[in-house]
Structure formats: structure tokens, C-alpha cells
Chains A and B, each alone.
Chain A
């Protein structure tokens, strides 16, 4: 009897979840460095810390990617100083492009899940992995932002 046949659907789901978690952690480490560029621009824009915290909080409290995109778009579209800050050197657009671009990484992660766990993957898995990657990326952005802000103020 092959391994595939001996795995129940529940086992396949659990193993797929584990494979995804590991792959997301690997990609997250590679995202760490890429978060620094936008953070420098966010610092130059002198955005209030609460804005970055709001962005991170939305990412962790929603189950929809579009809630994160909509937040960034609304902030960029605001009149006055806050809107200007989010549009400073195109930083809001850059964040939006990076977040939407993570879909390719999510797709690669899902494709990399071993065939024997196929029942642990469904049509919504790629979207959910994409959301996980967005959360990871924004976690790095928030951490960099708070750290560099604190260092500057020393």
C-alpha cells in the first residue's frame, strides 16, 4: 500500500498546513531585507506610528487581502497632510505593489506542496497563503519602522 493511500484526508490537511507553515517561514526570512526600502521612505514621510500599527492590525484581523489593499488606497487618497505622507515618493503605491506581488510567491508555495497531501489543498489555499505572506511582510515593515524610529530618537 502506498503512503498516499494510507493518509486520511485529515492527515493530509494537517501535513499540508505544516508544509505551508514551513514554506511561509522561509519566504518570510527572505522578505525581511526587502522591507527596509519602503521603511526608509515611510520614515522620511514622518508618518505617525499609529498609521503603521493600523496597517499591521488590519492585516492580522482580517481574512481578506482586499481589506489591506483598500486601507492603503484610502490612505493614499486622503486629502491633506496624511494623504501626502502616504504618497511620499510613491511609498504607499510601492507597498501596495509589493503586497499584490506576493501572490506569485503564494502560488509557488502551493505548487510546492507534495502531491501526497493534495487533499489538504483547495481552491482557496493560494489566497490564504497570500494573506499569510502579506501579514509576514507587514510585520517586518512595522518592526523596522518602530526600531529605526527609536534608534533615530536616541
Chain B
């Protein structure tokens, strides 16, 4: 069952609008800043295929923990190879994505989710679903800005 089916029509509409506003505002800015601050790692060692791998994971997974596991795994792989800059990059991506949990909680509260008479487990599922949507938007911006940066002359940085 889609978690959003527990919401009223009005709450779903409010959530949709708030997600769009977040995606166009803070989400877009934060993702671009993250890519900008690691520009020197593009297109290597942060390759387009790694970025597309991340995009595929957030598109396919339904639990934020799976995405965190993926970024942790990428960081560990980089560390084993001795590439500490790449490790730091994946740690920064993981931290940014984990940090979206707080935004998911805020959105859930803003649409009145806490007032719903739902069991704790379902409340968590609903918040996780919002967290996943935030992650998808963030990663879309991160990937787009990263592939754009790798083709831009330095003066655009």
C-alpha cells in the first residue's frame, strides 16, 4: 500500500506542493552546493556511472536505510582503494541524504500527519516515503548539476 493513501486528499495536495517548493528552493541549492564543493572530483574519480548508480538506487529503493547503505558501501570501497577524497565525497553525499530525514519530519508535521490516528509503524512508513521523495529530488539535482559542471569552463564555477 502506498503510504500516501493514508493521507486525506487535502494533505496529499499540501504535501505535493511543499515537496515541489522544497525541491525548487533549499533542495536545489543544497544539491548544487554539494556538487560545486566537489567539482575537482568530476568527472574522475566521481564518474557519471557512479552518479547514475546513485540515481538508480534512490529510484528503486523504498527505504532510506538502503540508500544510506549504498553511500556507506561506496565510501568503504573508495577507502579500501586508498582514494580518501572519493571516500569523503560519498560520506558527504550520505550525510546530506540522511539529513533530509529532519526535513521529512518537518513536512510530515506541516501537513498535519502527526494528528492522524495511525499506528507508529505506519507513521514511520509515511515519513520514510516522504524522506525517499526528498532523496530522489536531491539526487536528481545533484546528478544534473554534476554532469553540467564537468563540461563547464572553470569561470562558471
A78 within 8 A of partner (CB): yes
Point out the residues of chain A lying under 8 angstroms from B156, CB to CB.
Answer: 93
**Segment 2-48 of B: residues with Cβ below 8 Å from A:** 16-17, 20-21, 23-25, 27-28
Q: Of residues 143 to 157 in B, which have CB atoms within 8 Å of A's CB atoms?
A: 143-152, 156
Q: Is the interface of B mostly helix, strand, loop or mixed?
A: helix
Question: Knowing A66-B137, A70-B144 touch, does A77 contact B20 (C-beta < 8 A)?
Answer: no
Is B140's beta carbon under 8 Å from chain A? yes
Q: Which residue of B lies closest to A76 (CB)?
A: B148
Interface residue? A73 (CB, 8 A): yes
Instruction: Report yes or no: A66 in contact with B141, Cβ–Cβ below 8 A.
Output: yes
The residue of chain B having its C-beta at the shortest distance from the C-beta of A77 within the complex is: B147
User: Does A45 sit within 8 A of B, measured CB to CB?
Assistant: no
Interface string of B109-148 (1 = CB under 8 A from A): 0000000000000000000000000000100110111111
CB-CB contacts of A125-145 with B at 8 A, as 1s and 0s? 001000000000000000000
A63 to B147, CA, bound (A): 23
Interchain CB contact under 8 A, A127 and B24: yes
How many A-B contacts at CB < 8 Å in the complex? 54
Q: Is the CB of A65 within 8 A of B151?
A: no
The answer to whether B144 and A74 have CB atoms under 8 Å apart is: yes
The answer, yes or no, to whether A41 is at the interface (CB within 8 Å) is: no
User: How many angstroms between the C-alpha atoms of A26 and B106 in the bound complex?
Assistant: 38
CB pair A66 B148 closer than 8 Å = no
- Which A residues, 53 to 100, have Cβ-Cβ distances below 8 Å to chain B? 63-67, 69-71, 73-74, 76-78, 83, 87, 93
Q: Nearest chain-B residue to A65 (Cβ)?
A: B24
In the assembled complex, how far is the CB of residue B6 from the closest CB belonging to chain A, in whole angstroms?
Answer: 22
14 contacts between A and B (CB under 8 A): A63-B20, A64-B20, A64-B137, A65-B24, A66-B23, A66-B141, A69-B144, A70-B141, A73-B147, A74-B144, A77-B149, A83-B151, A124-B20, A127-B24
**A-B contacts besides A63-B17, A74-B148, A76-B151, 11 pairs, CB < 8 Å:** A63-B16, A66-B23, A73-B145, A74-B147, A76-B148, A77-B144, A77-B150, A77-B151, A87-B151, A93-B152, A124-B20
7 closest A-B pairs by CB: A77-B147, A73-B148, A70-B144, A73-B144, A77-B148, A66-B28, A65-B24
